[in-house]
Amino acid sequence: RLTIDAGEPIHSVTLLDVMGKVVGTYKFSNYMSKVEVQTYVLPDGVYSLKVQTDKGIYTTKFAKSR
């Protein structure tokens, strides 16, 4: 599980693999500033995370390992 705390309302979160393929999309209608997304189905590796808020899109990378 991955916890994202943006400090502002989150509209959506997109997970991409190292090749840029979308492996998960999460949309939030209640626009909370802190959300959790499930990553247990993802194989170990490096992923990009795009977080869309009212102020823009923020991108970061994370590594998943068991």
Torsion angle of alpha carbons 64, 60, 48, 54, nearest 10°? 120
pTM: 0.86
Is the pLDDT at 38 greater than 90, yes or no?
no
Q: In angstroms, what CA-CA distances link 62 with 2, 29, 39?
A: 10, 25, 11
Instruction: Name residues whose C-beta falls within 8 Å of residue 5's C-beta, 6 or more positions apart in sequence.
Output: 33, 34
**Rounded CA gap, 41 and 56, in Å?**
28
Instruction: Name residues whose C-beta falls within 8 Å of residue 61's C-beta, 6 or more positions apart in sequence.
Output: 46, 47, 48, 49
Is the pLDDT at 12 greater than 90, yes or no?
yes
Percentage of the chain beyond pLDDT 70 is 100
